Structure 1
Amino acid sequence: MVHSLVLQTVFISYCYILIQILLCGNNASEIRSESSSRRGNLSNLLVKDRLLETRHGVESAIYCSILCLDSNPCVSFFYSPLSSECRLHSITLGKVSGAVTDIGSQYFVSQRGIGYIGDTCRNHSDCVTGNSECRSGHCWCGAGYSFNPRLKSCDANCSLGYSDQYMLYSRHFLHQNNRVEHVNVTLDQCRELCTSEAAFTCKTFEYGYLSEKCSLQEVTYLDVPGSWYEDKYYFEFDYYQRDCL
């Protein structure tokens, strides 16, 4: 099964009622239903990838699940009983890198996060988001499409602008479409250069790990599909597509 990473399944199921005793709201009531499944592969970890926000003083995983449901971009969350922290994420976290230890932390994925961006997959049909694909064992937006956490979609254009987050498409590049090139920079610096570029809207960038070359572009694969190449010779260039706000 594609979700074999669910080593221990614990479901949080409830009717979501927005009332004063739960979230200190007003007298209006909004009733929805949701369930979240616990995934044991990320237990006892703290992950920063696509972190939306951290809430402190949250009493239980159920309350944390309610906060995730109330946040439109949220599809998964960590709850730490020892610190009472609730950390909301905009993607489903399959295998991750750069995680640090957080003893007691539990990871949950909501119903809407199953087969979503970042989730594990074996083939394209496992990925439920439009214009997404199974790439390197995870569901990601296809080449040229920007992840839109607000609309939960992969979009050809970002009508409200672009964020400071990027999605990787490894070992590919757009030939002869660079607006600006920088050398002797790190990947993090290249990402920041694209985000802060003022002369044009930097939608994508390519980074060469061996040459430390950073190429900024205002086009995507969808704009110039004939310029799309796999890096079969240099084995160093990765393509990064910028997310929507």
Structure 2
Amino acid sequence: MDISFFRCMLNLLLPLLWILFRSYTCEIISDKASVRQNFVNKNDTYRRLWSVEKFAATICVMECVRDTECASVLYNKVTKVCQAHSVTLGNPFVAFDEPDTQYFVRSFGEHYIGDSCVTATDCWTINTECRQGLCQCIPGYSFSPKTQECKVCDQYDDKNFMTITDHYITGENMEMFSSVTLEDCKRLCLTRTAYLCVTFEFLYPGTCALQKVTVLDFPHKWTTSAGVDETLYSQRDCA
């Protein structure tokens, strides 16, 4: 058979295959994730899970769907970088500009941890509240990307913390350090070997206190500094 016939058939079939592929992948986006406008041409590395190159936004979303911890993805149409996050990015004002970036949120990521909110009813994840305009775990509960909830942990993450401002637990410090940075305080908590550091408190400009308890252990010792001193209470995520 003439090879030109095969070329002709190939030229006819390729556009059809491309249309079918685009229809299929677009259906995946519409069913599994939606486009968000708040992070168009923006980027933020907060709770980034991974970053890989993918040749299309639809393939980027499919990669996220395969990861049970992935709630949202940023995709750059020029660099082809696909960046996954374990939370929904709800505050574009802390992000940096990145042209040609699109943002997609999976269905379970709607009203999820990190999403913008006005009241507690805007936050649909179990044991969450609206705090500082974002959906976050209520005091004493830790975020679990694996089970997509806020809960009491069986095991703790080795990197991430969720923070509450102007609150602390009185009288339960295991260790205290002075003249340290916030990052130093976090590192000190993560590297304790004599005990499991679950929470830390940081009092500006440089005081760090480490604890092995949460507010759920001592709710009567949960104290507000009422904004007099800037205190941060940070609790580890679940593994």
Do both share a fold (TM > 0.5)?
Answer: yes
Asked if structure 2 preserves the Cα contact closer than 8 Å seen for 1:13 and 1:36, the reply is no
Structure 1 window deviating more from structure 2 (143-152 vs 92-101): it is 92-101
In the other structure, the counterpart of 2:236 is 242
Q: Decide which structure has the larger Cα Rg and report it.
A: 2
In the other structure, the counterpart of 2:212 is 218
The gaps in structure 2 that reach 5 residues or longer are 1-24
Alignment partners' CA distance in 1, 2:203 and 2:46: 22
**Alpha carbon RMSD of aligned pairs, Å?**
1.7
Alignment partners' CA distance in 2, 1:74 and 1:202: 26
Q: What is the percent sequence identity of the aligned residues?
A: 36
Alignment partners' CA distance in 1, 2:107 and 2:185: 35
- Are 1:46 and 2:43 counterparts? yes
Asked if structure 2 preserves the Cα contact closer than 8 Å seen for 1:144 and 1:241, the reply is yes
In the other structure, the counterpart of 1:191 is 186
Indicate the structure with greater helix content.
Answer: 2
Alignment partners' CA distance in 2, 1:196 and 1:102: 35
The structural deviation recorded for 1:149 is 0.5
TM-score w.r.t. length of structure 2: 0.85
Return closer, same or farther for 1:192/1:106 CA change in 2, 3 Å cut-off: same
Out of 7, 14, 27, the position equivalent to 2:27 is 14
Alignment partners' CA distance in 2, 1:180 and 1:43: 44
- Are 1:66 and 2:68 counterparts? no
Out of 91, 95, 118, the position equivalent to 1:122 is 118
In the other structure, the counterpart of 2:7 is none
Asked if structure 2 preserves the Cα contact closer than 8 Å seen for 1:205 and 1:216, the reply is yes
Aligned residue pair count: 215
Which residue identity lines up with residue 71 of structure 1 in the other structure? Answer: D
- Are 1:171 and 2:166 counterparts? yes
TM-score w.r.t. length of structure 1: 0.83
Which residue identity lines up with residue 111 of structure 1 in the other structure? Answer: S
Which residue identity lines up with residue 75 of structure 2 in the other structure? Answer: Y
The structural deviation recorded for 1:160 is 3.2
Q: Aligned to 1:41, what secondary structure does the other structure show?
A: coil
- Are 1:227 and 2:221 counterparts? yes
Q: Aligned to 1:42, what secondary structure does the other structure show?
A: coil
Which residue identity lines up with residue 131 of structure 1 in the other structure? Answer: N
In the other structure, the counterpart of 1:87 is 83
Which residue identity lines up with residue 206 of structure 1 in the other structure? Answer: E
